[in-house]
């Protein structure tokens, strides 16, 4: 029965998310709204089918781990360290302002100061999951805006971990004398430093060594399994051994793997489940919401929501500006913080169990979370389209919509005997070439020789993106690749102006590649036939132009043959 309950919860949650997400999309709303409403529909506070909430939350945790591990993979560690000067004071100042404002308002409404401060700290933490999806949609995740925002949330996560450790000791009488606050803070700092040290060691020596041996097996399944084990293992190990959040551990684990040469393949080859499990995160959030709270305590919900979507963004904007950043950075960063998420629930759950907030406060927290998550995409869209933000040249979304094609940039898939010849000829003509290959030794040799080379599977979504397909002038498939037609379709979708040259072994496969979008197809059977015909007729002493026409006539007859 337990296994059936797991399957029913998984299937029911995804099915509801699919239906309501699709309806939200058709209504030109954010699909996130559909996912949240799906959680409400299968939750305990609405009639009909009720999913198993603990199981849904466990699925959601996997989604959070995979998503944050993926974010860590794609982040440049130096760039992340560079924004700590903004992230640390920014998170501290913004959290203090948001907490103080909500605590003062709640105190006027009759709450005691402790409950108000706890509630304020809960809403001051933004959802990294929501933020990362939003930033990725606008192509801001790996720009300055994304680096500041994600670095900021990492600091907030650390602050939340500190609070989760402090609350039970401060507010549980029989544990109050065990440790002083100073000793506890020192212990937390020691654990975080220890975790970072372990992750650095893993990322520098152990992880690259392990992934290299697995990659040499050429088994996609083993590589996928290895990265999933790393993602979940580091996240769970961080929580169990060092007492930090699973999400923070997953992010640091992604940073560790991202320092290796396997980062691109790991990001796109080994995380196929992250989107589905990330959807279940929103479903699990919706299951916490009691719709009756909107009618029972509308003023409380309204106050908490106003602080989340007005005070928090304004505090973030002012803080970023005070730290010397332009409005073009400050406004989007502030807009990204107009929501609360997973860590708010964790902190709220602990506070509720200790009697620090009541059930009305918990319902208001969940209601504000759902509404703010639903509104967040529209707030961010509005902020990104402001003239002071939109017209700035560094905004990635503008350049990504109209990429500049470089006709001398070529992506070469495969570096076998044929690929080497093509690479040499292109290099002689001054082309900028990026090679994609699954042979790790080949990629390393090319890089050591000063050439651009990417270790990854071109069949996996994202590999072409990583290679810069959007600005390339041409794509050459120099190897006879399985599912080459699908690769051509993906490439054509990413860059409609691309000149695509593909290779196949048999003439019968040539038409399918042309139908997929290849400009030129070279079939091994045909080209061998042309070469042999040229050798046979070499003694005919025909003129060069006549010889060229003769070869082209043979090619046309072979490729256009009805038997192909």
Region 500-506: mean pLDDT is 93
Instruction: Identify the pLDDT of residue 172.
Output: 67
Measured CA to CA, the distance from residue 332 to residue 355 in angstroms comes to 36
Cβ contact 449:427 at 8 Å: no
Measured CA to CA, the distance from residue 344 to residue 43 in angstroms comes to 19
Instruction: Identify the pLDDT of residue 291.
Output: 87
The pair phi, psi for residue 196, each rounded to 5°, is: -60, -40
- Please name which of 226, 272, 230 lies closest in space to residue 254, comparing C-alpha atoms: 230
Q: Which helix (H) or strand (E) holds 415?
A: none
Please report, rounded to a whole number, the percentage of residues in the chain having pLDDT higher than 90. 35
In whole angstroms, how far apart are CA 70 and each of 64, 131, 278, 535? 10, 14, 12, 54
Among 288-297, 359-368, 381-390, 419-428, the range of highest mean pLDDT? 419-428
Cβ contact 305:368 at 8 Å: yes
Q: Residue 500 forms beta bridges with which residues?
A: 475
Please report, rounded to a whole number, the percentage of residues in the chain having pLDDT higher than 70. 88
Question: What's the token pair of residue 443?
Answer: 């990629």
Region 59-66: mean pLDDT is 84
DSSP 3-state assignment of 136?
A: helix
- Is residue 564 scored above 50 in pLDDT? no
In whole angstroms, how far apart are CA 88 and each of 55, 153, 368? 35, 10, 25
> For residue 271, what pLDDT band results from cuts at 50, 70 and 90?
low
Radius of gyration in angstroms for the set of CA atoms belonging to the chain, rounded to a whole number: 28
Torsion angle defined by CA atoms of residues 538, 542, 544 and 547, in that order, rounded to the nearest 10 degrees: -70
Instruction: Identify the pLDDT of residue 130.
Output: 86
Instruction: Identify the pLDDT of residue 401.
Output: 43
> For residue 182, what pLDDT band results from cuts at 50, 70 and 90?
confident
In whole angstroms, how far apart are CA 444 and each of 208, 451, 452? 13, 10, 10
Cβ contact 225:215 at 8 Å: no
- Please name which of 107, 129, 130, 131 lies closest in space to residue 120, comparing C-alpha atoms: 107
Going 357 to 360 to 363 to 368, the CA torsion angle's sign is negative
Measured CA to CA, the distance from residue 83 to residue 226 in angstroms comes to 31
Instruction: Identify the pLDDT of residue 139.
Output: 82
Residue whose tokens read 């048999």? 506
- Please give the model's pTM, rounded to 2 decimal places: 0.71
- pLDDT tens, residue by residue, 96-149: 999 999 999 999 999 999 999 999 999 998 988 788 888 888 888 878 888 889
Instruction: Identify the pLDDT of residue 284.
Output: 87
Name the more confident of 501 and 539: 501
- Please name which of 187, 190, 197, 191 lies closest in space to residue 252, comparing C-alpha atoms: 197
Greatest extent of the chain over all pairs of C-alpha atoms, in Å = 103
Instruction: Identify the pLDDT of residue 48.
Output: 85
Among 87-96, 191-200, 454-463, 534-543, the range of highest mean pLDDT? 87-96
Measured CA to CA, the distance from residue 444 to residue 448 in angstroms comes to 6
Report the residue count for the chain.
Answer: 564
Stretch among 15-29, 55-69, 170-184, 445-459 having the lowest mean pLDDT: 170-184
Residue 202 DSSP label: I
Instruction: Identify the pLDDT of residue 400.
Output: 41
Q: Is 17 left (phi over 0), alpha (psi -120 to 50) or beta?
A: alpha
- pLDDT tens, residue by residue, 379-434: 999 999 888 786 654 444 334 445 688 999 999 999 999 999 999 999 999 999 99
Measured CA to CA, the distance from residue 77 to residue 495 in angstroms comes to 30
Q: Looking at the chain, which residues constitute the CATH 3.40.50.720 domain(s)?
A: 403-559
- Is residue 335 scored above 90 in pLDDT? yes
Measured CA to CA, the distance from residue 53 to residue 277 in angstroms comes to 14
Name the more confident of 128 and 75: 128
Cβ contact 464:484 at 8 Å: no
- Please report, for the chain, how many H helices and E strands are present, in that order: 29, 6
Cβ contact 470:396 at 8 Å: no
State the Cα angle at 470 between 467 and 476, rounded to 5°.
60
Q: Looking at the chain, which residues constitute the CATH 1.20.1530.20 domain(s)?
A: 2-397
194 Cβ neighbours under 8 A, 6+ residues apart: 242
Which CATH topology does 2-397 take? Na+/H+ antiporter like fold (1.20.1530)
Cβ contact 61:49 at 8 Å: no
Measured CA to CA, the distance from residue 505 to residue 564 in angstroms comes to 12
The pair phi, psi for residue 29, each rounded to 5°, is: -105, 165
Q: Which helix (H) or strand (E) holds 559?
A: helix 544-559
Measured CA to CA, the distance from residue 368 to residue 361 in angstroms comes to 10
Average pLDDT, the chain: 84
> Euclidean distance between the first and final Cα of the chain, in Å?
55
Stretch among 283-292, 366-375, 385-394, 432-441 having the lowest mean pLDDT: 385-394
- Please name which of 396, 443, 392 lies closest in space to residue 415, comparing C-alpha atoms: 443
Measured CA to CA, the distance from residue 337 to residue 146 in angstroms comes to 12
- Is residue 346 scored above 80 in pLDDT? no
- pLDDT tens, residue by residue, 236-255: 998 888 877 787 788 888 88
CATH fit for domain 403-559, picks 3.40.50.720, 3.20.20.60, 3.40.50.150, 3.40.50.1370: 3.40.50.720
- Is residue 177 scored above 80 in pLDDT? no
């Amino acid at each position: 029965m337990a296994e059936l309950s797991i399957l029913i919860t998984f299937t029911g949650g995804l099915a509801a998310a699919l239906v309501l997400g699709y309806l939200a999309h058709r209504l030109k709303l954010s699909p996130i709204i559909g996912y949240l409403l799906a959680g409400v529909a299968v939750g305990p506070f609405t009639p009909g089918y009720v999913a198993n909430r603990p199981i849904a939350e466990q699925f959601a945790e996997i989604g959070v781990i995979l998503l944050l591990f993926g974010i860590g993979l794609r982040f440049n560690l130096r760039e992340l360290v560079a924004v700590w000067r903004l992230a640390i004071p920014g998170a501290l100042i913004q959290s203090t302002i948001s907490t103080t404002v909500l605590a003062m308002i709640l105190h006027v409404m009759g709450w005691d100061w402790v409950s108000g401060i706890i509630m304020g700290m809960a809403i001051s933490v933004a959802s990294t999951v929501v933020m990362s999806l939003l930033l990725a949609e606008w192509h801001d995740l790996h720009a300055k805006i994304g680096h500041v925002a994600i670095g900021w949330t990492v600091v907030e996560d650390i602050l939340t971990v500190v609070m989760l450790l402090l609350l039970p000791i401060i507010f549980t009488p029989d544990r109050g004398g065990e440790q002083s606050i100073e000793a506890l803070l020192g212990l937390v700092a020691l654990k975080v430093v220890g975790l970072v040290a372990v992750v650095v060691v893993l990322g520098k020596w152990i992880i690259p060594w392990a992934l290299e041996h697995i990659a040499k097996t050429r088994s996609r399944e083993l590589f996928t399994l290895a990265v999933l084990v790393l993602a979940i293992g580091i996240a769970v190990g961080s929580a169990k051994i060092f007492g930090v959040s699973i999400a923070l551990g997953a992010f640091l684990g992604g940073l560790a793997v991202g320092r290796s040469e396997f980062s691109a393949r790991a990001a796109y080859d080994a995380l196929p489940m992250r989107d589905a499990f990330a959807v279940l995160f929103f479903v699990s959030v919706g299951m916490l919401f009691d719709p009756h709270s909107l009618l029972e305590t509308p003023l409380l919900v309204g106050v908490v929501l106003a602080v989340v979507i007005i005070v928090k963004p304004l505090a973030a904007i002012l803080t970023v500006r005070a730290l010397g950043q332009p409005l073009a950075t400050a406004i989007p960063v502030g807009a990204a913080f107009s929501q609360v998420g997973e860590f708010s629930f964790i902190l709220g759950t602990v506070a509720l169990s200790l009697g620090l907030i009541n059930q009305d406060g918990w319902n208001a927290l969940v209601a504000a979370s759902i509404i703010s998550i639903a509104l967040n995409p529209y707030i961010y869209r509005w902020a990104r389209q402001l003239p002071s933000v939109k017209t700035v040249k560094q905004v990635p979304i503008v350049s990504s919509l109209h990429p500049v094609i470089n006709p001398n940039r070529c992506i070469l898939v495969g570096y076998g005997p044929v690929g080497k010849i093509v690479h040499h000829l292109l290099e002689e003509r001054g082309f900028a070439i990026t090679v994609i290959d699954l042979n790790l030794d080949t990629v390393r040799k090319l890089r050591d020789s000063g050439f651009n080379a990417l270790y990854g599977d071109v069949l996996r979504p994202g590999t072409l993106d990583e290679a810069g397909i959007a600005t390339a002038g041409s794509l050459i498939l120099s190897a006879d690749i399985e599912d080459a037609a699908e690769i051509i379709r993906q490439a054509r979708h990413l860059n409609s102006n691309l000149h695509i040259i593909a290779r196949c072994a048999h003439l019968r496969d040539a038409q399918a590649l042309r139908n997929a979008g290849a400009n030129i197809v070279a079939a091994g059977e045909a080209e061998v036939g042309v070469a042999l015909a040229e050798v046979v007729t070499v003694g005919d002493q025909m003129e060069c132009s006549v010889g060229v026409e003769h070869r082209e006539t043979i090619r046309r007859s072979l490729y256009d043959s009805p038997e192909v």
